[in-house]
Amino acid sequence: MASFVEIGRYNVIPLSLASLCTCPYRPTLNKTLIFNQKRYPKFNLRIVFDGSRPMFRFRQSGISTNRHFIVAVARAQADRLDEDNAREEVDKGNNLLVIEDSVSERQQKASQLKKRIVSGLGIGISFGGIILAGGWVFTVAFAAAVFVGAREYFELVRSRGITAGMTPPPRYVSRVCSVICALMPILTLYFGQIDVSVTSAAFVVATALLLQRGNPRFAQLSSTMFGLFYCGYLPCFWVKLRCGLAAPALNTRIGAKWPVLLGGQAHWTVGLVATLISVSSIIAADTFAFLGGKAFGRTQLTSISPKKTWEGTIVGLGGCIATSVALSQIFRWPTSLLSAVAFGFLNFFGSVFGDLTESMIKRDAGVKDSGSLIPGHGGVLDRVDSYIFTGALAYSFVKTFLPLYGV
């Protein structure tokens, strides 16, 4: 009696009826498909449709046929298992690489955040002590920061991204301008004003550029003059604000209890209080804008700085005004709530404008940070960009507008 072998018992890859049609058989009306025995003399293949379930059978006509068939099926199954195992190993390896990259990125972000916090606290405490000290301590420390910031600015001007479209000033001119920018705050404190010094410095630098060897270019003159204005002239208003407004803030609660050895109540001048409120408002604006952008940021503010959003800007404005109002209640200056709100709005506008200006310079230079002096923060310009225009706005507001309203 002929024996039968069911293909399904050996887990053979399923064959569709259409694929079987390529073989030399012809379907018959009795629902049985039979191989042509003239071409395949050693075995018969029948596909019997039993109800709704087809059954594949081999009619063995020789021992070697069954053996070869089983070996072929086993080899095919083994090859498929090897391919599956290899694919699983590759998938596991890719998953491990993705996990390792994710963990490494998280660790890097955590480390960078830690550096930013430590550096920020150190800078904040140091700068707060320098503001309280005032006088020459404040001016000399400020001049050192201006010198480093000016060097970073002229390095950005000489970077490959900007020099591709313009001719940068000579290196010796950049160094001289950095020194001039550092001297401007000192001259401001000594003479009480800076207009003549800035005009004289600009004239000397412009003359040196026009009389240089080679072919002088307007791009050299414009970038150098902007550097003197951006890194030298504008920061001098912080010296005028802190040290120039020497009128005592008589209503300040803290000033009434300030130790006599540290200057007593006379130490708390309008310039000191205005500087503390302005600096604190800028810090609050940057902090709240960062947190608001992370939590609610959806709409891009400008293409100059893609990470800034309208939502973060609005939150930063609210934090800046709230800080200005809260500190005005503590220091009892300014006495008008409307003046405190206007002062906070002005500080926020100056900080955003300064930040975007420095971002535009870095974008054209093709760099992420202006330097690497401060761990986790980049260069000096990256930290003081929000303060460059704000000093001039704050000084003009206190000097010009507050007396008009009697506060």
pLDDT score at 286:
92
pLDDT score at 369:
84
User: How does 370-394 read in b/e, with b if 16+ C-beta sit within 10 Å?
Assistant: bbebbeebbbbbbbbbbbbbbbbbb
- State the DSSP H helix or E strand holding residue 34, giving kind and residue range, or none if neither: strand 32-35
Residue ranges per domain, the chain?
4-69, 130-244, 249-407
pLDDT score at 121:
80
pLDDT score at 166:
79
Q: Per-residue pLDDT averaged across 398-404, rounded?
A: 83
In this structure, the number of other CB atoms found within 10 A of the CB of residue 119 comes to 15
pLDDT of 275 strictly over 70: yes
Cβ neighbours for 310, distance < 8 A, ≥ 6 positions apart = 299, 300, 301
Q: Per-residue pLDDT averaged across 21-44, rounded?
A: 45
Nearest by Cα to 234 from 364, 339, 353, 119 = 353
- Overall pTM > 0.85: no
In this structure, the number of other CB atoms found within 10 A of the CB of residue 135 comes to 10
pLDDT of 244 strictly over 50: yes
Phi first, then psi, for residue 55 (nearest 5°) are: -125, 130
pLDDT score at 86:
62
- Give 68's pLDDT tier (boundaries 50, 70, 90): low
Q: Which phi-psi region, left, alpha or beta, contains residue 366 (left: φ > 0; alpha: ψ -120 to 50)?
A: left
CB 149 within 8 A of CB 380: yes
User: What share of the chain has pLDDT > 70, as a percent?
Assistant: 70
- Tell me the range of 34-43, 84-93, 138-147, 359-368 where mean pLDDT is highest: 138-147
- Give 124's pLDDT tier (boundaries 50, 70, 90): confident
Give the angle subtended at the CA of 329 by the CAs of 326 and 333, to the nearest 5°: 115
| Euclidean distance between the first and the last CA atom of the chain, given in angstroms as a whole number | 118
In this structure, the number of other CB atoms found within 10 A of the CB of residue 7 comes to 18
User: How does 346-368 read in b/e, with b if 16+ C-beta sit within 10 Å?
Assistant: bbbbbbbebbbebbebbbbbebe
- DSSP single-letter state for residue 22: T
Q: What is the pLDDT of residues 279-291, one digit of tens each?
A: 999 999 999 999 9
The whole-chain average pLDDT of the chain stands at: 78
Q: Which phi-psi region, left, alpha or beta, contains residue 112 (left: φ > 0; alpha: ψ -120 to 50)?
A: alpha
Kindly give the pairing relationship between strand 300-302 and strand 305-309. Answer: antiparallel
- State the DSSP H helix or E strand holding residue 308, giving kind and residue range, or none if neither: strand 305-309
pLDDT score at 371:
81
Q: What is the pLDDT of residues 186-237, one digit of tens each?
A: 999 988 888 888 888 889 899 988 888 778 888 888 999 999 999 999 999 9
pLDDT score at 313:
95
pLDDT score at 200:
87
Pair of tokens at residue 221: 């003159």
- State the DSSP H helix or E strand holding residue 153, giving kind and residue range, or none if neither: helix 135-157
Instruction: Return the amino acid letter for 40.
Output: Y
Length of the chain: 407
The DSSP string of 335-388 is --HHHHHHHHHHHHHHHHHHHHHHHHHHHHHT-S-S-SSBTTTBSHHHHHGGGT
pLDDT of 265 strictly over 90: no
User: What share of the chain has pLDDT > 90, as a percent?
Assistant: 37
Pair of tokens at residue 153: 């600015």
Beta bridge partners of 89: none
- The residue with tokens 């401001």 is 188
